[in-house]
Amino acid sequence: MSRFSKCLSYQIKRKVMSTFIFLGFYTAICAVLYLLTLFANSTSNGHSSFNSSMFFTAAIFGFVYVIADYKSKTNYLMMFGNTRKNIFLSSLSSNIVLSVLLMIISTVFSIIESALTELLYKSNEGMNLLHAIYPESNMGTEMLFMGALLILITSVSTLYGALAYKFGSIFKILFWVAFGMSFMFFPLSPTVANLFNAFFCYGVPNGILLAPINFIIASLILYVISYAAVLRQSQAV
């Protein structure tokens, strides 16, 4: 087995295991909240339902996990003589696997929740944000959209991890200060809003099919920048 294959196998196993641990805890929490919602409805004759918003939670998990895992994973693999190139390419490949896995889990959760909503609440009207934004969407296009968006999110995490690994606390402080201030200024800018709508192809015919193209192109650019940062970085402690 080549060093790249070993790196890839290690990273995939690590990410899949962490994903299923996350899934176990999250499923248990959702089950408790479902029971609490049913109990509240039975005691007050209410009709409220519970939506886990699994995709958004999965996206946050993917973003945070790739960042949190970057330094320890890189140091571990470098300790066994793996090249930065092999580590980076296996990280990219395993991030795609992670993104597809989270997309499948989110889709399964959506199907189960729709069935539970119809069974328990006698309603087939579930909350589907993607369908509200892209009326022409269906399950296939939504899966494509979610998978591409998750690939973009993990590419952002990889760039963050690479720069934080290279520059340390200085980068982390500057990044989060800039990120926090962006919520103050970006909503006030019509240009930013227009760019955001264009990137997500909002209001464009077949936008849910076109937006993933933008996501993948942006991901490739971010990975190229990450690779440039990785090439000559020294091992962090």
The confidence band for 237, taking pLDDT boundaries of 50, 70 and 90, is low
In this prediction, residue 149 carries a pLDDT of 97
In this prediction, residue 37 carries a pLDDT of 77
**H or E element, residue 113:** helix 84-120
Q: How far is CA 108 from CA 90, 103, 141, 203, in A?
A: 27, 9, 15, 27
Amino acid at 43: T
CA 38 – CA 44 distance, rounded (Å): 10
Count the residues in the chain. 237
pTM here?
0.89
In this prediction, residue 187 carries a pLDDT of 64
All structural domains of the chain with their residue ranges: 3-231
Amino acid at 235: Q
Q: Inform me whether the pLDDT recorded for 214 exceeds 90.
A: yes
Does residue 2 or residue 99 have the better pLDDT? 99
Average pLDDT over the chain, rounded to an integer? 86
Q: Inform me whether the pLDDT recorded for 127 exceeds 60.
A: no
Does residue 133 or residue 186 have the better pLDDT? 133
Top mean pLDDT of 47-56, 101-110, 172-181 is at: 101-110
CA 162 – CA 98 distance, rounded (Å): 18
What residue has token string 């994903």? 19
Query: Considering only 10-24, 142-156, 161-175, 186-200, which range has the smallest mean pLDDT?
Result: 186-200
Look at residues 114, 133, 93 and name the one whose alpha carbon lies nearest to residue 49.
114
Q: Inform me whether the pLDDT recorded for 234 exceeds 70.
A: no
In this prediction, residue 160 carries a pLDDT of 95
In this prediction, residue 135 carries a pLDDT of 86
Q: What angle do CA 87, 146, 123 make, to 5 degrees?
A: 145
Q: What are the tens digits of pLDDT across the range 22-58?
A: 999 999 988 888 888 777 766 766 566 667 678 899 9
Top mean pLDDT of 118-132, 192-206, 218-232 is at: 218-232
Per the CB < 8 A criterion, the answer to whether 27 and 109 are in contact is: no
In this prediction, residue 90 carries a pLDDT of 94
The confidence band for 125, taking pLDDT boundaries of 50, 70 and 90, is low
The confidence band for 178, taking pLDDT boundaries of 50, 70 and 90, is confident
In this prediction, residue 123 carries a pLDDT of 57
Q: What is the mean pLDDT of residues 198-214?
A: 92
Provide the percentage of residues in the chain whose pLDDT is more than 70.
87
**H or E element, residue 207:** helix 207-231
